[in-house]
């Protein structure tokens, strides 16, 4: 049984866990929040898949979920199936309250073009918040090198969206570290990476990037938007 952590306790744990390996952080997390913990995996970026592989060796009972917005690439959906077969798990799809048709009827067609923040709220933020209501903590694939909005990510912190404890065991890893792990452990990855997609979300809001661009430059290109809202501070 886990017990709530106060903010000053989170600060102490953040200092303690900062220097530990991702596996050590996951072992601590799985023990501390046993039965009240979930792993978020987008099946887009490689970081969540590294965490999934690590956690499968530490505590395979931790549920894995993904946000099925209704706008995922076929390659992303195919990867979900591959991962399920490889690890013998059933990733849980977390879906919005509104179908795409219902959203269009209520808010107008192609909301992601007119108000991407509202679309992300309806199709990602609110569904995840409702899903995580049954948990005390969740694991995310955030890294400090992913962009300016993530430079301050801590290994353990309070999640502003849900109020839960959020763990980012790979916060200090680089993109190179992630791909090295994937190669060494033969971890499945999204086929779109080979086509220039470095960060993969919904079809209308994801484009490939050119050499030298930021990892998330292909997300919501031209809008000034950098995050979907799941990790707002």
Q: What is the DSSP secondary structure assignment for residue 84, as one 8-state letter?
A: H
- The residues, any chain, with a CB within 8 Å of residue 25's CB and separated by 6 or more, are 17, 155, 156, 167, 169
228 is a catalytic site residue = yes
Binning the chain into helix, strand and coil, the percentages to the nearest 5 are 45, 10, 45
H or E stretch at 27: helix 22-32
Question: What are the φ/ψ torsions at residue 22 (nearest 5 degrees)?
Answer: -55, -40
Q: Which residues are catalytic?
A: 228
């Amino acid at each position: 049984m886990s017990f709530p952590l106060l903010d000053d306790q989170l600060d102490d744990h953040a200092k303690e866990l900062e220097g530990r390996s991702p596996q050590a952080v996951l072992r601590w997390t799985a023990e501390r929040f046993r039965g009240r913990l979930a792993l978020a995996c987008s099946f887009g970026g490689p970081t969540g898949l590294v965490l999934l592989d690590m956690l499968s060796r530490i505590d395979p009972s931790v549920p894995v979920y993904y946000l099925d917005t209704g706008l995922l690439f076929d390659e992303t959906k195919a990867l979900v199936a591959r991962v399920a077969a490889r690890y013998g798990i059933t990733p849980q799809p977390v879906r919005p309250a509104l179908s795409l048709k219902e959203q269009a009827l209520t808010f107008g067609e192609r909301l992601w073009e007119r108000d991407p923040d509202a679309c992300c709220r309806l199709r990602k933020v609110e569904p995840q918040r409702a899903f995580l209501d049954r948990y005390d903590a969740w694991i995310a694939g955030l890294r400090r090198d992913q962009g300016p909005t993530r430079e301050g990510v801590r290994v353990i912190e309070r999640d502003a969206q849900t109020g839960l404890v959020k763990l980012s065991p790979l916060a200090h890893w680089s993109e190179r570290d992630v791909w090295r792990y994937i190669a060494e452990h033969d971890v499945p990855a999204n086929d779109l990476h080979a086509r220039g997609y470095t960060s993969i979300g919904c079809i209308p809001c994801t484009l490939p990037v050119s050499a030298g661009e930021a990892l998330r430059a292909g997300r919501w290109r031209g809008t000034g938007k950098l995050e979907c809202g799941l990790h707002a501070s």
